[in-house]
Amino acid sequence: MSQEQAQAHIRVRDLTLKYGSKLIQQDLTFDVNKNDIFIIMGGSGCGKSTLLKHMMGLYRPAEGQVWVDDNSLWDVSDLQRRAMMKNFGVSYQAGALISSLTLAENVGMPLELYTELSPKEVAELASLKLSMVGLAGFEGYYPSEISGGMIKRAALARAIALDPEILFFDEPSAGLDPISARLLDDLILELRESMKSTIVIVTHELASIFSIGSNAVFLDADTQTMLATGNPNQLLASCDDAKVQQFLRRGEAANA
């Protein structure tokens, strides 16, 4: 195995994504290296969230493979795949917290489902995870009682409840004001460093892409394939594809 392969945490190879007969993306091949903050980017409707769900093992690809370390998600048994997915933490776009549960109960749910910890131990760990995202003291609050930014952070706390090796975030800063979005980006960097996790993020936010992304893939809706992969700042400096440049420089046009 080459050095490049040895560092890869997730390998996507010749992936084709479809909904029924409708082609979404094809010929996707890229690596997510260990400890990456990997950005899935592209215009609206290009299949970013669909790709994320395939990488998480929720959708079976029409063609191709997703490898996590040395195991293909779809060449193992259902039992083995579920075991692999226990090492994944997920935060969805709207947070997806259960409104009838407190923050501590939301965060504790994965611990109750997948561990044999006592209720006291679950409560203690839930408090720890909430404190890691800056929500110490909010254990008894309900989602309706906190701000949008706090809901996003609580969703991250639930995503890290089981100390996953890989975190998947779908538009984590969507709907937040610029200051809250920047604070969330800082939190994601802190989680990467403290947990040594690999993080895969769907986002269209340029500030996030450039400030936290260490690697990326650009999906195109027109050609239904990837146009580039690499560090976002390096793509901005050297990628010669016009669509990639237009996407990455749209902030310049807005400020002109």
Q: What is the pLDDT of residues 54-113, one digit of tens each?
A: 999 999 999 999 999 989 999 999 899 988 988 999 987 665 788 899 999 999 998 998
Q: What is the mean pLDDT of residues 184-193?
A: 90
Euclidean distance between CA atoms 231 and 251, whole angstroms: 18
- The confidence score (pLDDT) of residue 201 equals 96
Closest CA to 88 of 13, 163, 8: 163
Tell me which of 217 and 77 has the higher pLDDT: 217
- The confidence score (pLDDT) of residue 94 equals 61
- C-beta separation of 50 from 16 below 8 A: no
Kind and range of the H or E run holding 147:
none
- Sign of the C-alpha dihedral, residues 81, 84, 87, 88? negative
pTM: predicted TM-score of the whole model, two decimal places = 0.90
- The confidence score (pLDDT) of residue 13 equals 97
Classify domain 3-87+165-255 at the CATH topology level: Rossmann fold (3.40.50)
Domain with CATH 3.40.50.300 in the chain: 3-87+165-255
**Segment 189-207, tens digit of pLDDT:** 998 998 899 999 999 899 9
Closest CA to 203 of 228, 174, 176, 223: 174
- The confidence score (pLDDT) of residue 9 equals 95
Q: Which of the residue ranges 84-88, 132-136, 156-160, 231-235 has the most confident prediction, judged by mean pLDDT?
A: 231-235
% residues pLDDT > 70 (the chain): 94
Number of other CB atoms surrounding residue 193 within 10 Å? 10
Tell me which of 254 and 32 has the higher pLDDT: 32
Tell me which of 59 and 177 has the higher pLDDT: 59
- C-beta separation of 110 from 88 below 8 A: no
- The confidence score (pLDDT) of residue 251 equals 66
